[in-house]
Amino acid sequence: MTLLIEQLINGLQLGTMLFLMASGLTLIFGVMGLINLAHGSFYMVGAYATALVSATTGSFLVGLAAGIAVAAAVGALVELIVIRRLYHRPHLDQVLATFALILIFSEGTRWLFGSSPLWLNPPAALSGSVTLPGGLRYPIYRLVIIAVGIAVAVGMYLLISRTRLGMRIRAGESDREMIGALGVNIARLYTLVFAMGAALAGLAGAMVGALQSVQVGMGEPVLILAFVVIVIGGIGSIKGALYGAILVGVVDTLGRIFLPAFFRHFMSPSEAAGVGSAIAAMLIYVLMAVILAFKPKGLFAAHD
């Protein structure tokens, strides 16, 4: 039972991190209709900026703020230089252009910082563990990641539903031409939304960088999971991104821990580990297929 509770919390932590990635991705697609494969690059940019500034200043919080700001600034610059020319192009052109951005960011980062990973340590105050109900010891920093994800989810809800900017974002999702005719600067709105999405990805990269190494290409595996999340939750839906992220995080984490143990009842330990790990890797895609079979637009389709 203790192991189950611990892995459920781990799954929730993975889910909140995926929400930070997926919310920006689904926001960009919902407002702009843009398929952005380069979203994982902003995750990497945020992690690198945080690691470098933290090492220079000795402060993780200063590094975190710098990582978010740099990711947002790079996102705005990319939107102005590249993405703005893709809005009225076919989705295939968008995929090819943003895939090229992945290569540019990856090779540029390798050229600037080398192939060796950087290491980012969380603040000393968050490096210990706490005792949860039931006697379970759990790292404080992972709980902070969960809290940050929840806070961002609440903030996104309030922004989208209670502010003038949120009203324009919702209107942009529904009828871009109409809000343009009403005097809203569409180009500025798109740049702002894209920078917000990049900042959220940078925040995710900065937070996770303290759990893993900061290295070239670290954003691509997370990007794949983020696309699964928004397909399950419903493209363009922030609520769907939250539910989908938690669902994917919990299912992926529990599958990787418990499936190999389950197959040990029928196979040798080495075979069970191989089969269990292979099935666990496919589990979220099976989940996505099952959900789409019953809900073709995802759990919370944005325009239902």
pLDDT tens across 51-71, in order? 999 988 888 899 999 999 999
Structure tokens at 66: 């710098």
Cβ atoms 173, 302 nearer than 8 A:
yes
Yes or no: say if 198 and 191 are a contact pair by the CB < 8 Å rule.
no
Enumerate the β-bridge partners of residue 132. Answer: 136
Looking at the chain, the whole-number percentage of residues with pLDDT higher than 90 is: 25
pLDDT band for position 180 (cuts 50, 70, 90): low
pLDDT for 65 equals: 94
pLDDT at 237: 80
Compute CA 19 distance to the chain's CA centroid, rounded to the nearest angstrom: 5
The dihedral region occupied by 135, where left means phi > 0, alpha psi between -120 and 50, and beta the remainder, is left
**Cβ atoms within 10 Å, residue 252:** 22
Q: Whole-angstrom Cα distance, residue 98 to residue 101?
A: 5
Token pair for 119 = 């290491």
Which token pair is 155?
């903030």
Burial of 123 (0-12, 13-18, 19+ CB in 10 A): middle
- pLDDT of residue 135 exceeding 80, the answer is no
DSSP H or E stretch at residue 28: helix 2-32
pLDDT at 257: 84
Distance of alpha carbon 55 from the chain centroid: 24
Kindly report, residue by residue over 120-129, the tens digit of the pLDDT: 888 888 888 8
* Range 103-120 average pLDDT: 89
| pLDDT at 304 exceeding the cut of 50 | no
Q: If you average pLDDT over residues 275-293, what whole number do you get?
A: 87
> What is the model's pLDDT at position 53?
92
Residue 43's pLDDT is what?
93
pLDDT score of 97 more than 60: yes
Rounded CA separation 241/21 (Å): 9
Unique residue bearing structure tokens 């290295």: 215
More confident position, 211 or 135:
211
199: pLDDT strictly greater than 80 = yes
Interatomic CA distance for residues 9 and 2, integer angstroms: 11
Q: What are phi and psi of 214, to 5 degrees?
A: -95, 115
Q: Which candidate, 209, 219, 230, 285, places its Cα nearest to that of 24?
A: 230
For strands 129-132 and 136-139, give the pairing: antiparallel
Residue 102 structure tokens = 């992945």
232-260 residue pLDDT tens: 988 878 888 889 999 999 988 888 888 88
The pLDDT value given to residue 162: 82
CA 208 to CA 41: how far, in whole Å?
14
Q: At what angle do helices 2-32 and 238-263 cross, to 10 degrees?
A: 140
pLDDT band, very low/low/confident/very high, at 172 (cuts 50, 70, 90): low
Residue 195 pLDDT level (bands cut at 50, 70, 90): very high
pLDDT of 99: 92
Residue bearing the bigger pLDDT, 175 or 81:
81
Q: Is 15 helix (H, G, I), strand (E, B) or coil?
A: helix
Domains recognised in the chain with CATH numbers = 2-294 (1.10.3470)
Residue with the bigger pLDDT between 181 and 140: it is 140
> For 264-275, what is each residue's pLDDT tens digit?
887 877 887 888
Beta carbons of 168 and 41 less than 8 angstroms apart: no
Q: What is the pTM of this model?
A: 0.88
